[in-house]
Each structure stands twice: as structure tokens, then as C-alpha cells.
Amino acid sequence: MSLPSIQVELPDDAYWQRQINCQQACPVHTDARGYVRAIAGGDFEQAYRIARGPNPLASICGRVCGAPCEAACRRGSVDEAISIRALKRFVTDRFGPESFTRETLKPIELLKRVISTGGRDCRGQEELASFGIPFSQIGENKGDGKRIAIIGSGPAGLAAAHDLALLGYRPTVFEMEAVPAGMLAVGIPEYRLPRDLIAAEVEVIRSLGVEFVCNTQVGKDIALADIRKDFAATIIAVGAKRSRIIPIPGGDGPGILGGVEFLRDLAVRDESSSSSLRQLGERVVVIGGGNVAYDVSRSVIRQVGYDVSRSALRLGGVREVHLCCLESVDEMPADDVEIIEGNEEGVELHPSLGPLSVERDADGRLEGIKFKRCLRVFDENRRFSPKFDEADTTFIRADTVVWAIGQRSDVSFIGDDSDIKRDERGVIQSDAETLRTSATDVYLAGDIAYGPRLLIDAVASGKKVARSIHAALTGQSLRKREEFVQINLPDYAREQDYEKLQRTAVPTVSAEERRGSQTAVVERGYDESAAVTEACRCLDCGVNTIFDSEKCILCGGCADVCPELCLRLVSCDRLTGEDGLPELLQERYSGEELSEMSAIIKDEDKCIRCALCAERCPVGAITMERFQFSCDWSE
């Protein structure tokens, strides 16, 4: 009986690049492995440079990024992923703009320090440092560059402004709120993202010569057409600042709020008669299973403990906060930490429920909401296709219902007669590669371009649109130039028992403390000892085992000693694959019986980079080598 065939892949530069899962998963390709290993080695400032290089909002991401790098982390297949976001916060707390006052270091000096120093560890410095305006002129961009308008100062707008300024342009950002940063400032609770940190991050971007025009709503205070007349290009980056609401019986009327609007009113302390903060009642039901739903729920709980002596606003009487969602607990899109901390703070979770109707009394006052049991959310192809048990219903009493099931953009400032085309749903059309709309001078960035995604996706979009505009205005495209280096590590060694270390929990303030304050930051962050310990857990996926077939004597010692059983010796006739495998076998074993020839295959997902195979090899056929790639932009 023949043995089953084995699908293999021949390693090339792209293969080694893909092994660094965290970096591949990051939309701006931050070398998380690089800064985590720098922390493990005690080089905290270099770690900051690596984290900051491709990401102008690194400090903010250290607090609230959705962390796709952690979801992709190979250590997660062993036990738990590295706490990458918390490690980023550890170094930004020490070397980011939030760590300095204007008296000790001006924002532009901080940015110059990042640009002018650092190694080539992908990249360890601002990625546009080798292109754009001369280093000596950074922050002095007064009038030579063309003016670019950016509508919206959220993460996409900020990232676009940052990169355009470094490329020599003069960006002006229009923001409808009183402060820059868009949803970062009015959509994320202060207990997650401190306002002084946002201000510090924005100040660095302002120091590049970026102008912010706040309290200015396009379409009301200034016309889009007037902006387009005065600027060489316009970026629409307004984000998704309106809540989606499902039309169900009884859903129109008092007591129904949007989660995004609620968070905005809370952030700006809107006490007007139209504000969603005026009266919540004793029981609040939040509908949704994502992070925004928990932001709303946890913010309502904090309002219960709000000190009346500090404000005339008092939401007294709130006793219960219920969170209801279609998903089961395992399917909920909210981060695990949100669910855990929400439970600690008193959020009552009701999974697998779909809203059926809002119940009101004869006078139209809200009494509660009826739900039906959700049997599934997705079909067998993972498409959204909820199925319900119509006979299994639940009624939850409520004085207020808050929708937090999704967000939408408001583009009413674009007239129906505009040359900016929209589809039948009113969505602005744009080219997926250039982000340019049907109007050649207007571009999109962030949620308005592709719908709500992660913060870091918006940053990537802002950077992308900056490059597109530069190409359109100069006729010269910025192209990514990647440099691949493989370094032999003869003295490679790992920290003792690194594979046994458990994930280090991020310290938090107590549930009792945080329930009484909207501003008490929940996560305290790592101290130096905890950060180094957590960083030592990193498997360092940029390091690879390299086999020299000319030296190998096929003793099998490497496979025997491997603690994860990721190496196997197999006969070559079992190998299948594309991209040169047949040609390689033919070249190497021409005229030989492949069943008599052997190959070593490796399961990369299992390898923990312990180097025991290299130590065991009696003929030195296995070496440990670090793969690095650096990214640059050039015309």
C-alpha cells in the first residue's frame, strides 16, 4: 500500500516573509516581531522606533488597536498569543509623544529623533525618511507644497495628513467637532483612550505644518465645491459616524438611541435637550455584540457613579445594563477582554437573541423589547444568514434601547448633481487601488472607502491615499522597495524556559474603581519586568532553520530531538507541489528512483525556533538564520 502524498512548498523570499505572521497581518506591515524582540533584549527605544516607523498613530494603537497581529501570532497555536498591543504601549509610554511635555521636547524634535536614528530592522525609523522634503526642513513646510484638503480628522485623515506633509505638501484638515481626531476623540471612551494622549499624537502631526480647522462642518459651514476650488486635491475621510438601526415594530419613538451618537454626546458632555444623555431610566438595553456595544454598555455603567458635584448632569436611577446580541459568546466580535471586563463591571450579557419588536404602552412610552432565539448567525459558507426560532421569545424590560449593530457614513454634503458618483445605495464609488473617485481631484480614505474596519486599516488607507495623490500631482508613483537579508546566527540562543512562559496579564484597576469614573484608564500597562517577560515568549518567527543537503547524512537526529515533532524524513516520491518542485527533483535526482531518495520536511506552524535540531546535528548541516526585510519608498 502506497503512502499518502505530501504537499510541500519550496521556500523563497516571499515564503520567509510570510513566516513573520504578525507583520503580514498588520495593514501597515509593522514589524511587531522586531519591536517585541527588541523589548526582550532591553532595547526599548529601538523598539519604539520600529513600532513608530510605518505608523504615525503608534501611541494610539498601543491603547486601542484591534491587533490583527495578535490574532495571527504563531504563539497562539502553542498556548496564547503574545500581548503585542500592550508591549507597543509599554514603549510608546516611554518614548512616544505622550511621554514628553513641550518644555522637555517639542513634537517636531521627537519626530526628527525617530527619523534620524535607528537601524534597518524593518525599518526602525520613519518609512518616508528617505523620500520627500529634506530632513532639515521637516516641520518648516510653509508655502512651497501644493495645498491638500482633508475632510475628517480621524485615523485615516491624520495618517494622510502626516504622510502628505512629509512629502512636502500643505494639508488642511476640516473637522466638524471642536477638537481633532474624529471618532478617536468622540467615539472611543476616555477610559480606553486618554484625551491627552490623542492631543499629543495630533500635536506631532500639527508640527509638520498640518493645519486643523475645527468646528467646521462641510456642507453646512463650508461647501465642498468651495474647498475643491482652493485645493489641488481633496480627501474625504469622514468615517462612519452614524449608527445603523434595524426597523422593527415600535422602533420609532422616544427611548431609542444610536450607540455612536450616545458616545459622541458623552465625549463632548452635550447636555442639550436633544442629547442622548438626558435621561436613560433605570434599565438600559444595548443591542450589539461588538466593541462599540461594550463601549456603550460600560460607559452607561460608569455614568451611574458619576459625581454630581462635578456636573449638573446626573443619570441617576440606572440599575441594569443588558447587552443582547445575535451571536453566541464564542462568535461575538467583541474582544475577549471587553467581554470579561464588561462582566466584571456589571454588564448583563444575553447572547443568541435577535430583536423582534419594541413594546410600548398606550401613551407610547417604552416598556421593553421582545427578542427571538437566534439558532445560527452564519450559514455553512460563513455568510451572514441568521436563523431564528420564532416560537422561543424573551422579553426584557427597558427604559432605553441603544443600537450598536453597525455604523454608516453621512455623505449628505455631496449634492445629487455632483460629479462624484454614488451607487444606488448612495455609496461613493472609488478605484480600489488609487482610492480616486469619479472626480479626478477627490479621493476617499478610511471607512468611507470600504466600510467600518479596524483603526489600523484606516491608517493604512490614509497612507495609501497620500501616495496616490503624490503620484497624480507629480506624475511619479512612489513604489515600495523591499530589501531581503538573511543573517547566519552562530550564537543563536533562547531565553531559558521561554516556551513554558504563560501570557502575562495586563494589570488593570479594580472593577469598583473603574465603575465610578469615565476617565479612569482601565489598563495600567506593563512595568519593565512584565514587559520583558512577555516579550521573551515571542517565538521570533523571523529566525528559521536552514538545512544544507550537501552536509546532511540523514541520521534523523533533528527529527528525534524536535520537541514539537515538526520535522520529518520522507521519501521524495511522496512530495507534491508546484513552483519548481518537479524541476528541482528532476535536476537533483535525474535517473534515480525517487522512492530511494529522502527529504526533510518541516511544519512551520509547529516550530518554536528552539534550535535543538541545529545543536543535535553531528555534521553542522543545520543553521539558524534570521530573515529581515526592510521597506522603502522611491520614485
557 versus 425: which is more confidently predicted?
557
Q: How confident is the model at residue 579 (pLDDT cuts 50, 70, 90)?
A: confident
pLDDT of 144 over the 70 cut: no
Q: How confident is the model at residue 317 (pLDDT cuts 50, 70, 90)?
A: low
pLDDT of 279 over the 50 cut: yes
632 versus 265: which is more confidently predicted?
265
Q: How confident is the model at residue 311 (pLDDT cuts 50, 70, 90)?
A: very low
The pLDDT tens digits of the residues spanning 334-345 come to 999 999 999 999
pLDDT of 49 over the 60 cut: yes
Q: Which helix (H) or strand (E) holds 336?
A: helix 336-345
Cα 118 from Cα 50, distance rounded (Å): 8
Residue 263 has a pLDDT of: 94
212-226 average pLDDT score: 96
- Burial of residue 628 (CB within 10 Å: 0-12, 13-18, 19+) is buried
253-265 average pLDDT score: 93
Residue 118 has a pLDDT of: 45
Residue 358 has a pLDDT of: 97
The pLDDT tens digits of the residues spanning 502-513 come to 999 999 999 988
Residue 105 has a pLDDT of: 58
User: Is the pTM for the entire model greater than 0.85?
Assistant: yes
pLDDT of 237 over the 90 cut: yes
- The domain covering 243-408 belongs, at the CATH homologous superfamily level, to FAD/NAD(P)-binding domain (3.50.50.60)
Residue 571 phi, psi dihedral angles, 5° rounding: -80, 145
In which region does residue 164 sit, left (phi positive, over 0), alpha (psi from -120 to 50) or beta (all else)? alpha
CB 408 within 8 A of CB 452: no
Residue 438 has a pLDDT of: 96
CA distances from 377 to 244, 327, 355, 407 (A): 18, 6, 13, 19
Q: 3-class SS at 108?
A: helix
Q: Is the dihedral of CA 430, 162, 22, 93 positive or negative?
A: negative
Structural domain boundaries of the chain?
Answer: 6-10+538-634, 139-241+410-477, 243-408
pLDDT of 310 over the 60 cut: no
Average pLDDT of the chain is 89
Q: Which residues, other chains included, contact 103 with Cβ-Cβ below 8 Å and sequence gap of 6+?
A: none
CB 507 within 8 A of CB 295: no
The residues pairing with 396 across neighbouring beta strands, listed in sequence order, are 369
pLDDT of 321 over the 80 cut: yes
CATH 3.30.43.10 is the classification of domain 6-10+538-634:
no
Residue 141 has a pLDDT of: 56
CB 110 within 8 A of CB 125: no
Quick one: cell of 138?
521637516
Residue 259 phi, psi dihedral angles, 5° rounding: -65, -40
Residue 277 has a pLDDT of: 58
Cα 234 from Cα 226, distance rounded (Å): 11
The pLDDT tens digits of the residues spanning 604-625 come to 989 999 999 999 999 999 999 9
Residue 309 has a pLDDT of: 33
CB 444 within 8 A of CB 428: yes
Residue 298 has a pLDDT of: 95
Quick one: cell of 362?
398606550
pLDDT of 44 over the 80 cut: yes
CA distances from 276 to 188, 264, 313, 401, 480 (A): 16, 9, 12, 11, 47
515 versus 398: which is more confidently predicted?
398
Residue 586 has a pLDDT of: 85
CA-wise closest residue to 535 among 60, 93, 44, 57: 44
**Strands 575-576 and 543-547, sheet pairing:** unpaired
Residue 589 has a pLDDT of: 86
pLDDT of 113 over the 90 cut: no
Q: How confident is the model at residue 123 (pLDDT cuts 50, 70, 90)?
A: very low
**Strands 366-378 and 384-397, sheet pairing:** antiparallel
Cα 404 from Cα 268, distance rounded (Å): 19
pLDDT of 278 over the 80 cut: no
CA-wise closest residue to 360 among 315, 300, 307, 401: 401
The residues pairing with 358 across neighbouring beta strands, listed in sequence order, are 369
Residue 314 has a pLDDT of: 42
pLDDT of 383 over the 50 cut: yes
In the block, cell 472607502 appears at 449
pLDDT of 129 over the 70 cut: no
Q: Is the dihedral of CA 214, 219, 224, 230 positive or negative?
A: negative
Cα 547 from Cα 457, distance rounded (Å): 38
Task: Check if 6-10+538-634 and 243-408 are the same fold.
Answer: no
Measured in whole angstroms, the distance separating CA 238 from the mean position of its chain's CA atoms is 18
The pLDDT tens digits of the residues spanning 325-371 come to 999 999 999 999 999 999 999 999 999 999 999 999 999 999 999 99
Residue 142 has a pLDDT of: 52
The residues pairing with 545 across neighbouring beta strands, listed in sequence order, are 624
478 versus 438: which is more confidently predicted?
438
Which residue blocks in 117-239 are alpha helix, DSSP H?
A: 155-166, 183-186, 195-206, 224-230
Residue 476 has a pLDDT of: 83
CB atoms within 10 A of CB 533: 17
Which residue blocks in 488-543 are alpha helix, DSSP H?
A: 511-515, 528-535
276 versus 93: which is more confidently predicted?
93
Cα 84 from Cα 542, distance rounded (Å): 16
pLDDT of 79 over the 50 cut: yes
CATH architecture assignment, domain 139-241+410-477: 3-Layer(bba) Sandwich (3.50)
532-557 average pLDDT score: 94
